[in-house]
Structure 1
Amino acid sequence: MFVNWSEMLPTIQKAFGSLGKSNPKMVKAYMALAEASSEHNVLDAKTRELISIAVAVTTRCDGCIGAHTDEAIKAGATREEIAATLATAVQMNAGAAYIYSLRTLEAYDTLKK
């Protein structure tokens, strides 16, 4: 097992509360982002969580993966939907690496002159 996901979520929640005590204004602003992203209900909760999983994978955030997978399950996401989401994340991340490889070569060519 890569991570003990069942233990990770309560640990994160506890740590989140601890940081919140140190910087309540920052945590309030962070929580407002979640509220703002769902304000108009254009996307349902499951879709938002699937998007969040894809972003969590491409940014390599274990805490985000755990939290958003848990929320996706609560929103009714199936294993197949999560697998399809992961396929998209892999495709996008490989694409991003390709584009940044082109940028690196451009930097080399520019700086070599």
Structure 2
Amino acid sequence: MIEWKETIQDINVRLKELSTRTPDTLRGFGLIAGAGANTNHLGAKTRELIALAVAVTTRCDGCIAFHSAEAVKLGVSDAEIAEALGVAINLNTGAAITYSTHVLDAIDKLKQA
């Protein structure tokens, strides 16, 4: 399994390097990352639960590391995390089902050609 604290540390080191090479990109990322906190309509815990579900659907280990750490810090419960992961699982299976219909459509159209 992944060493999550090391993942966070390693990414942070490389992000510092990247920020010296393209500072505007990292500033922009920071603005996007903090935008929800500025309005706070959803609250920090809900934002982190959404982030965890999206991290699973996008298969981003860095996102999982950072947002898991934040979720722990915020006291997100195991039950809340499990429910968010259930949403991610549902969306991944839903996408597979939807794209399966694309395959059927492609096969039908290619057979007609």
What TM bracket, shorter-length normalisation? over 0.9
- Over the aligned positions, Cα root-mean-square deviation in angstroms equals 1.1
Higher helix proportion:
2
TM-score with structure 2 setting the length: 0.92
1:19 maps to what in 2? 18
**Residue matched to 1:66:** 65
Q: Matched residue of 1:3: which SS? A: coil
Unaligned runs of 5+ residues in structure 2 are: none
Q: Which residue of 2 aligns with 1:93?
A: 92
1:83, distance to aligned residue in structure 2 (A): 1.4
**1:50-88 Cα distance to aligned partner (Å, 9 max, x none):** 000000001100000010011111112012211121111
1:40 matched residue in structure 2: 39
Percent identity between matched residues is 44
Distance in 2, matches of 1:111 and 1:23, equals 45
User: Normalising by structure 1, what TM-score?
Assistant: 0.92
User: Equivalent residue of 1:43, what SS?
Assistant: coil
Partner of 1:80: 79
Which position in structure 1 is the counterpart of 2:3? Answer: 4
Distance 1:112 1:17 in 2: 53
Q: Which structure 1 residue ranges, 5 or more long, are not aligned? A: none
Aligned pair count reads 112
| Alpha-carbon offset, residue 39 of structure 1 | 2.4
